[in-house]
Amino acid sequence: MDAEEHKLPLSQNPEWADVTPIPQDDGSNPVVPIAYKPEFIETMDYFRAVYKANEFSPRALQLTHQAILLNPGNYTVWHFRRLILDAMGIDLNEELDFMSGISENNPKNYQIWHHRRWIAEKLGADVASKELDFTERMLFLDAKNYHAWSYRQWVLQALGGWENELNYCHQLLEEDVFNNSAWNQRYFVVSGSPLLGGLEAMRESEVKYTVEAILRCPENESPWRYLRGLYKNDPKSWISDPQVSSVCLKVLSAKANHVFALSTLLDLLSHGFQANQEFRDAVDSLRPSNSDPPDSDLAKTICSILQHVDSMRVNYWTWRKSKLPLSV
């Protein structure tokens, strides 16, 4: 049955003659009164009637379909639909197909994603690849859709399908290296995939990958934070890994988009990194002509530059400067 077949208003449809619609009670003098369209009013009046009567029937299921099309955010309609699906033992694969059409028009609707998860949970591992494909289609429309990512993480953890996930992250980052959601997913995979051996095992290849991404667009916040994350709970390796300090140096020497390189170098210095003359020269050459004279303390010089080039956050950099240990 299709919603289009129901051209007759419910009040004139013989199939519904035995049901007495229940009107919405908005209270006596509502504070935020709502103007409803006639079709909406009628559908919801009949919905309230079948809902109250706990009617688990094909026509009630069809009615929830109509109500969902009118307002897919109505969580009570979705609840009732699940009760009907359960009671009638309907093939949930069909329900998944029904969902796909609605999802594409409402990509950020909590109820739709939750309903989908309820179905997939019941269908189990068999639908893992189908569900991963589905989120890929949704992420093709909006690569940062929070609901789609959250659902995808759930599918991976609950139903499996990790095999191609790192590749998928790579593919998205090739399309848009600024996609923070894809970087987050990459971290999720690298640190959590049962197939990859964990963060430490993956560190070397990931650092290489990240350094390349940084050099492509050094103004990109995400890979800088990702790089730091690869050394989670291991600041010693972070400071001593020459790949980290050298990517800072390379970006500084290129003299463009160097805010994150400076801030990373500042973090390294604050954690005990010893910078050689090459770093000092690279930083010195970035000092704006009207800034303070170079300080023997490299970290202080970096803060002065950042106060200048990232003036929106001047108070943050001033605070960072004030927290530096006194130079000897």
Partner 1 sequence: MGELVVDKHVKYILSVEKRKDSFESVVLEHLRMNGVYWGLTTLDLLGKLDALDSNEVIQWIMKCQHESGGFAGNIGHDPHLLYTLSAVQVLALFDKLNVLDADRVANYISGLQNVDGSFSGDEWGEVDTRFSYLAICCLSILHRLDKMNVEKAVNYIVSCKNVDGGFGCTPGGESHAGQIFCCVGALAITGSLHHVDKDLLGWWLCERQVKSGGLNGRPEKLPDVCYSWWVLSSLIMIDRVHWINKDKLVKFILNCQDTENGGISDRPEDAVDVFHTYFGVAGLSLLEYPGLKAIDPAHALPVDVVNRIFFQK
Shortest Å distance, C-beta 94 to partner 1: 20
Chain contacts with partner 1 (rule: CB under 8 A): 22, 24-37, 40, 48, 70-71, 73-76, 79, 82, 110, 114, 117-118, 144, 146, 149-150, 153-154, 178-181, 184-185, 187-188, 192, 221-222, 225-226, 228-229, 232, 312-313, 315-316, 319
- Residues 142, 148: Cα–Cα separation, whole Å: 9
Question: Alpha helix locations (H) across the chain?
Answer: 38-52, 58-70, 75-88, 92-105, 110-123, 128-141, 146-159, 165-175, 180-192, 199-216, 221-229, 235-240, 242-254, 259-270, 277-284, 298-309, 314-322
Shortest Å distance, C-beta 278 to partner 1: 27
- Residues 68, 112: Cα–Cα separation, whole Å: 10
Residue whose CB is less far from partner 1, 48 or 287: 48
Residue whose CB is less far from partner 1, 272 or 284: 272
Shortest Å distance, C-beta 142 to partner 1: 11
Shortest Å distance, C-beta 72 to partner 1: 8
Residue whose CB is less far from partner 1, 39 or 94: 39
Residue whose CB is less far from partner 1, 158 or 211: 158
Residue whose CB is less far from partner 1, 78 or 279: 78
Half-sphere exposure of 185 (CA within 13 A, CB side): 32
- Enzyme catalytic residues: 108
Three-state DSSP state, 223: helix
C-alpha dihedral, 262 to 268 to 272 to 277, nearest 10°? -50
Shortest Å distance, C-beta 293 to partner 1: 26
The 3-state secondary structure of 43-79, one letter per residue: HHHHHHHHHHCCCCCHHHHHHHHHHHHHCCCCHHHHH
